[in-house]
Each structure stands twice: as C-alpha cells, then as structure tokens.
Chains A and B, each alone.
Chain A
Amino acid sequence: GEDVEQSLFLSVREGDSSVINCTYTDSSSTYLYWYKQEPGAGLQLLTYIFSNMDMKQDQRLTVLLNKKDKHLSLRIADTQTGDSAIYFCAERRGSARQLTFGSGTQLTVLP
C-alpha cells in the first residue's frame, strides 16, 4: 500500500470541516474509494468516484479528484465525534483490478 499515500493523523474540532488527502500512482485507475474503519470493525465503503469525474458530493461528504496530480481528497462537513475513525483511500489497479490501500488517516474529533 505504500504507493497510495496518506498522512497518518488529523485532528479537528467538532463542527469544523475535515479534509483528508490522498495521492495515488496508477493513472489508469478507474475507480477511487474512501473507506471508514471504526475501532474493532471492518472497513465500510463511504463513497467512491469514477475517474472521469472531478467532484462528487453525498450529504456531508465531498470527494475531489485531480487526475493530473493524482490527488484525491475527502471533505467531511460539520465533523461530529462519530466521525472519529481511520479513513482509507484505495484505488483499483492491475489486470485483476485489485484494491490497493493507503496507510489510513486516523481522524480525531475534539469536543
């Protein structure tokens, strides 16, 4: 997963916006994903974006994709304590289009 890079930690205050960034490597990736992992649980798909899109919005979540720079971001508006989790970006690559994950960003929401 080292080819998909994320910062390891992010802290925000409750009610602020969070922005989690990711850089990926495979320019042929067709889908890019954001997964959320709560403590002791598996990964849950939050949202995804197709590579021909620049932006996707889903309620409090906004995904931005810059294909030229291979940069993906997830913005969470009005961050709540329940948003505290690890967030993984992932791309599908290779002939079998397997998921390759970043290292995950631990989001901590402070009261």
Chain B
Amino acid sequence: NAGVTQTPKFQVLKTGQSMTLQCAQDMNHEYMSWYRQDPGMGLRLIHYSVGAGITDQGEVPNGYNVSRSTTEDFPLRLLSAAPSQTSVYFCASSRARNTEAFFGQGTRLTVV
C-alpha cells in the first residue's frame, strides 16, 4: 500500500518556468489537499478538493492551479514560477472530513 506518493522529490526551476507537482493516493480517499511549508510558518493550505471534479482555494492559492479529474490524482500546477514559491510542498489525503490526514514525503522546490 503506497499511501500518498509525490513526485518529484526535488526540483529547481528558473523564474517564469511552469511545472506540475504530482500527487497520487491509492486509498480511495475523497479529500485531498496541497500545503506549502515555510520556516516558522507551519503548513499553509494552497488548494483542496473534497472529491473528483471539485476543488477550492485555501489560504495561499495565488500562482497555483489544481484539478481533480480522478479520485486518485491531485496535481498542483505552478503557472509562472517565482522565487517566493521556493518551499517544501506537501500533499495530503483523508477518507472524510474529520479523519486522519495522510501526508506524502514532500517536494522541495527551489525557484532561482
């Protein structure tokens, strides 16, 4: 059982480049979320999804897009990378609203 899988683990981008961070879960969870982790700021919610075809904005959505075409996958797209998007990104999933959230191992992104 793989749980929540994020790829890539590390990425360096130039300012203005676009890319997609992948997240997949094999637990048939309805809820999926993307967070960014910055020093001293904990995890901040970027976007989330409560089911296939449904997405919504979190606390810091600007500069990011998401889609949820299947239950398993929840990719995060950076449209035009900026140095302020240098961070560690975590994807999480949970079975329902009040249940445990399972986290991926994270993607460390550096924008130069």
* Residues of A participating in the B interface, judged by any CB pair closer than 8 Å: 1-2, 4, 6, 8, 30-31, 33, 35, 41-45, 48, 88, 92, 96-104
> Known contacts A42-B104, A42-B105, A43-B103: does B45 contact A98 (CB below 8 Å)?
yes
Q: How many chain B residues touch the partner (CB < 8 A)?
A: 26
Q: Which of B33, B50, B106 contacts A99 (CB 8 A)?
A: B33
> Known contacts A43-B90, A43-B103, A92-B98: does B58 contact A98 (CB below 8 Å)?
yes
> Known contacts A96-B56, A97-B97: does B41 contact A103 (CB below 8 Å)?
yes
Q: Are A96 and B98 in contact (CB under 8 A)?
A: no
Q: With A and B bound together, what is the CA distance between A30 and B31 in angstroms?
A: 17
> What chain B residues lie within 8 Å of A99 (beta carbons)?
33, 43, 45, 92, 101
> What chain A residues lie within 8 Å of B101 (beta carbons)?
33, 43, 45, 99
> Known contacts A96-B48, A96-B50: does B97 contact A4 (CB below 8 Å)?
no
A-B contact count (CB 8 A): 62
> What chain B residues lie within 8 Å of A30 (beta carbons)?
98
Shortest distance from the beta carbon of A92 to any chain B beta carbon, whole Å: 6
Q: Are B105 and A41 in contact (CB under 8 A)?
A: yes
Q: With A and B bound together, what is the CA distance between A64 and B9 in angstroms?
A: 36
Shortest distance from the beta carbon of B69 to any chain A beta carbon, whole Å: 19
Q: Are B90 and A42 in contact (CB under 8 A)?
A: yes
Q: Are A102 and B90 in contact (CB under 8 A)?
A: no
User: In this complex, what residue of B is CB-closest to A42?
Assistant: B103
The 4 closest A-B pairs by CB, nearest first: A1-B42, A42-B103, A97-B97, A103-B42
Q: With A and B bound together, what is the CA distance between A71 and B8 in angstroms?
A: 37
**Cβ contacts A to B, 13 pairs, < 8 Å:** A1-B42, A1-B43, A42-B4, A42-B103, A42-B104, A42-B105, A42-B106, A43-B90, A43-B103, A98-B33, A98-B45, A98-B58, A101-B35
Given A88-B43, A101-B35, A103-B41: 16 more A-B contacts, CB < 8 Å: A1-B42, A1-B44, A2-B41, A31-B98, A33-B100, A41-B105, A43-B43, A43-B92, A45-B101, A97-B97, A98-B48, A98-B58, A99-B33, A99-B92, A101-B44, A103-B40
